Structure 1
Amino acid sequence: MSPRRGTVVAAGAVMWRTGKRPGDLEICLVHRPKYDDWSLPKGKVDRGEHPLAAAAREVWEETGHQVRLGRRLPTQGYDVAGRPKLVHYWLAEADATAGPREPDDEVDEVVFLPVEDALQRLTYERDADLARAALAAPVRTTPLVLLRHAQAVRRPDWSGPDIERPLSASGQRQAAALVPVLAALAPSRVLSSDAVRCVDTVRPYARQHRVTLELEPSLAEESLRTGSAAQPTGDLIRTLLADGPALVCSHRPLLPVLFEAAGAEPGDTLEPSEFAVLHHDDDGAVVAVDRHRLDAA
């Protein structure tokens, strides 16, 4: 859903946690004294901010929970005071280490309620409908992020070995802009082709979040040209689908191989710095695929 001119863009999450009894879930609601309503945590996207980053930030600001975003949920569109509003939502599991949030003028109460109680307390039916949609599929998933490297110096403009071809100035800006966006997904492993343009795309995130940057030659274009990509790359992806959240940076020609190994449809070609999030369950099965670009807002 593309925003109309003058649209207020916001982002938030349906945040959940396990209830007191096994199998039970609780949903987080916030009370806003300005409107005297109960709603899902959300807020406006800042100028130049990606909705993914905004959703994680707003959840933190309104609830005190630092979360990793899960599956993307249906986007809400409605009018507020005569202006169109577009709200992007994701699932998010609550932070078990979060302490109580001090009340303020924006949010004076944060509660977790069993699903049926939460649905009844929500002021807006659209929020209840969104929560129902969120719970209709697996709520706990793990992200595998497949990222095409940022914009590189054009091949005709580079005389050195292709593996050493660097990012362009715009590509360097894209790599920096990716940091808060990827942080919303919090990958704990970062794997990259050993090509400079891939390494320099994910290095800013890895460095800022103190994640070891793992170089994987099988993710490089050269492995595709020599016919040595399919088996090791497939094994790598299948291993990651059985592991924790991960980020993989590679090249356009390799991306279909990565999607195929994950059992997911590749869809349209990812543009430079664009990425897909493959949300998989505990069995490694991909249950949803989200695609994102830096100019999403």
Structure 2
Amino acid sequence: MADQTDHPGEPVAVVAAGAIPWRIQKGALEVLLIHRPRYDDWSWPKGKLDDGETVPECAVREVREEIGLQATLGIPLPPIHYHVNAGLKVVRYWAVRVNGEQLRPDGKEVDSVMWCSPDRAAKFLSNPSDVAPLEVLEKAHARGELDTWPLVLIRHAKAKPRSSWTKAEGDRPLAATGQRQAVAVQRLLQAWKPQRIVTSPWVRCVATIAPYAKSSGAKVKLVEALTEHNHERSPKKTAAAVESVFDKQVPIAVCTHRPALPTVLKQLASHMSGSLRAALPDSDPYLSPGEVIVCQVVRGSERKVVSVEQVKPFDD
């Protein structure tokens, strides 16, 4: 993994992830700093990747372990880079809203936490690099783009080959690799905690989201317009099905097939700025099996997408 930002071409030796927890208190934005006795420093909750986890999963785990918060990731924030003994370290951050939940610092890694204004936080941070993601968070708040909900698009996991399947296309199941991917998708989705899942009713889509649905209790809605056949007949109905997921403004996931992805992405793009649209995949196959795109949508009636991330589940 080579870094192409402030250190172009330099390999990244250490990958870590974390979050900036935030809340609105008496109408004002506050962020949460943690104090680590081991280093006697003030920073954001963060830590290094464990084997077998993705960067978003790491961020959620570290927030849970360090301050006892079951985090749902919000908008991505700029990563920071600095050198440690092993070489170049990158830390990727997300905004995480704290909405009345009680925090429980673990006591060993974190012995104190402090809610404060962004200006005060900037003065307390021990690593000057940590100010950069804070500034982006503060600007997002000023634009009314910090309070968001996630819309996650999933391409179903790897299915058995068409050539080896003689029964109905809608009954074609996941391959063994796809079954493992579905479990990895389950772990990955816990970073955004969709409460609802809208999916093609074909077996390979339902099997992709089943592990997450069973473990989380998320409501599942089967939508015929998201199947390959119905998309081929009427892309407009597929687009309308995607548009309808904006209605309830709750964390939601949509699972569909590769041939439907151009239509789905085009509909999502209609809610984005030009620069965000440019971040969407624009050539076949758009997503690999089990891969996701996460759109953060501003709360309210605007249906405005303010960030786009493309994430693969952990591939064993």
TM range (shorter): over 0.9
Q: Give distance in 2, aligned partners of 1:52 and 1:103.
A: 21
RMSD: 1.9
Q: Give distance in 2, aligned partners of 1:216 and 1:145.
A: 16
Tell me, yes or no, if structure 1 residue 171 matches structure 2 residue 175.
no
Which residue number corresponds to residue 237 of structure 1?
242
Going from structure 1 to structure 2, the CA distance change for 1:103 and 1:272 (only over 3 Å counts) comes to closer
Contact 1:19 1:114 in 2 (8 A): no
Q: Give distance in 2, aligned partners of 1:31 and 1:80.
A: 20
Alignment counterpart, residue 92 of structure 1, candidates 93, 96, 99: 96
Q: Give distance in 2, aligned partners of 1:52 and 1:18.
A: 24
Tell me, yes or no, if structure 1 residue 190 matches structure 2 residue 190.
no
Q: Give distance in 1, aligned partners of 2:123 and 2:235.
A: 52
Q: Give distance in 2, aligned partners of 1:77 and 1:159.
A: 52
Going from structure 1 to structure 2, the CA distance change for 1:58 and 1:201 (only over 3 Å counts) comes to same
Q: Name the TM-score, length of structure 1 as normaliser.
A: 0.93
C-alpha deviation, 1:5, in angstroms: 6.0
Code of the residue aligned with 1:253 in structure 2: it is P
Code of the residue aligned with 1:71 in structure 2: it is I
List per-residue Cα deviations over 1:150-177 (Å, max 9, x = no partner): 0111111111111111111010000001
Code of the residue aligned with 1:293 in structure 2: it is K
Tell me, yes or no, if structure 1 residue 125 matches structure 2 residue 139.
no
Which residue number corresponds to residue 271 of structure 1?
288
Tell me whether 274-283 or 168-177 shows the greater mean CA deviation.
Answer: 274-283
Tell me whether 264-273 or 253-262 shows the greater mean CA deviation.
Answer: 264-273
Q: Give distance in 2, aligned partners of 1:267 and 1:80.
A: 34
C-alpha deviation, 1:63, in angstroms: 1.2
Count of residue pairs the alignment pairs up: 292
Code of the residue aligned with 1:124 in structure 2: it is N
C-alpha deviation, 1:81, in angstroms: 2.1
Which residue number corresponds to residue 69 of structure 2?
65
Query: Any residues of structure 2 matched to 1:147-226 within 5 Å, and which?
Result: 147-226=154-233
Q: Give distance in 2, aligned partners of 1:127 and 1:64.
A: 21
Which residue number corresponds to residue 290 of structure 1?
309
Alignment counterpart, residue 260 of structure 1, candidates 266, 273, 278: 266
Q: Give distance in 1, aligned partners of 2:162 and 2:244.
A: 33
Which residue number corresponds to residue 13 of structure 1?
19
Which residue number corresponds to residue 112 of structure 2?
109
Code of the residue aligned with 1:278 in structure 2: it is C
Q: Give distance in 2, aligned partners of 1:245 and 1:105.
A: 33
